[in-house]
């Protein structure tokens, strides 16, 4: 099973700041990585797939990068609606696995 | 509008059974692969099971293999998860989600509580 490790667990930031979230795979997954955003009481929402392609309707302030084992999700200027938990997800191998999440909270 | 709506959750005793359903609308259900994903209280996301568009290919996480069964009815645009021999650690919100690579969209989830 591929283990996905996200860091940090929690990120405290001000609105307007740029943030970067990291996700590491225990073995190479090429670009078979997605990022999701989840707000309390809601289902996860797809942000990025193929490591760097924004899903339909996702603002350009969200960007993804990386390949192999190291991946990054960046939010260029944090808006109030961006405070949430972010998960990475590998779909290279079965079983599919998720990172444990990074919580982005207001400082 | 593409929509997935789960139902069937509830309180069940350890060792009991429950059947979850996911009603799909707004897209050609028979053309898409589907999944079940679980989120335990205060925890992250755990992929549980996958079924191909025609139902011929199925995968399970080790944690549910032999206890859970995924199925679909393309005529009814419906996905199901039969859960047997339920344990306390099966407690959580169960989501259905579309796709065989990235998952999009997700349903709103249905809560399963396994407790005596």
Is residue B50 within 8 A of residue B100, CB to CB? The reply is: yes
Cβ neighbors of A7 (< 8 A, separation 6 or more) are A21, A22, A24, A102
CA distance to A6, A10, A39, A88, B10, per residue, from A101 (Å): 6, 9, 12, 7, 26
| Residue whose tokens read 């200027």 | A77
A9 vs B: CB within 8 A? no
Q: State pLDDT tens for residues B46-90.
A: 999 999 999 999 999 999 999 999 999 999 999 999 999 999 999
* List of chain B residues whose C-beta atoms are within 8 Å of the C-beta of residue A103: none
Could you say which of A32, A87, A95 has the minimum Cβ distance to residue B59?
A95
Q: How confident is the model over A81-95, as a mean pLDDT? A: 97
**Angstrom distance (rounded) from CA A86 to CA A84:** 6
- Cβ separation of A43 and B59 shorter than 8 Å? no
Mean pLDDT of A32-59: 97
- Rounded to the nearest angstrom, the minimum Cα separation between B107 and chain A is 7
Instruction: Please report the pLDDT score of residue B12 as a whole number.
Output: 98
Cβ–Cβ below 8 Å for B104 and A99? no
Let me know the angle formed at the C-alpha of B26 by B53 and B30, rounded to the nearest 5 degrees: 15
> According to the model, what pLDDT value does residue B41 have?
83
Tell me if B101 and A34 make a contact (CB, 8 A cut-off): yes
Contact B107, B96 (CB under 8 A): yes
Query: Rounded to whole angstroms, how far apart are CA atoms A29 and A98?
Result: 13
Residue A18 confidence (pLDDT): 95
Which residues, 6+ apart, have CB-to-CB distance to A84 below 8 Å? A37, A38, A39, A103, A104
CA distance A90 to A33: 5
The span from the CA of B32 to the CA of B27, in Å, is 9
* Residue B31 reports pLDDT greater than 90: yes
Distance from CA of A96 to the nearest CA of B (A): 6
pLDDT surpassing 90 at residue B42: no
CB A86 within 8 A of CB A21: yes
Q: Which of B60, B100, B104 is opposite residue A46, by nearest beta carbon?
A: B104
Question: Rounded CA gap, B44 and A53, in Å?
Answer: 23
Contact indicator for B98, B25 with CB cutoff of 8 Å: no
Contacts of A89 in chain B (CB under 8 A): 45, 102-103
Does A46 contact chain B (CB < 8 Å)? yes
Distance CA B86, CA B21 (A): 17
Half-sphere exposure of A73 (CA within 13 A, CB side): 33
Residue B8 confidence (pLDDT) above 90: yes
């Amino acid at each position: 099973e591929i283990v996905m490790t996200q860091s940090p667990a929690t990120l405290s930031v001000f609105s307007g700041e740029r943030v970067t979230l990291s996700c590491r795979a225990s073995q190479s997954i090429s670009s078979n990585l997605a990022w999701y955003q989840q707000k309390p009481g809601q289902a996860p929402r797809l942000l990025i797939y193929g490591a760097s392609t924004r899903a339909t309707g996702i603002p350009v302030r969200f960007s993804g990068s990386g390949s192999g084992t190291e991946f990054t999700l960046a939010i260029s200027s944090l808006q109030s609606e961006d405070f949430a938990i972010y998960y990475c997800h590998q779909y290279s191998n079965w079983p599919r696995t998720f990172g444990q999440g990074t919580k982005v909270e207001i400082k | 509008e593409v929509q997935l709506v789960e139902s069937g959750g509830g309180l069940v005793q350890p060792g009991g059974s429950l059947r979850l359903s996911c009603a799909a609308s707004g897209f050609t259900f028979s053309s898409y692969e589907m999944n079940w994903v679980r989120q335990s209280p205060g925890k992250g996301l755990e992929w549980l099971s996958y079924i191909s568009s025609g139902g011929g290919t199925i995968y399970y996480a080790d944690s549910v293999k032999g206890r859970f069964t995924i199925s679909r009815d393309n005529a009814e645009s419906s996905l199901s998860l039969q859960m047997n021999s339920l344990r306390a650690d099966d407690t959580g919100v169960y989501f259905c989600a579309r796709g065989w690579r990235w998952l999009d969209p997700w349903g709103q989830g249905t809560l399963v509580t396994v407790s005596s």
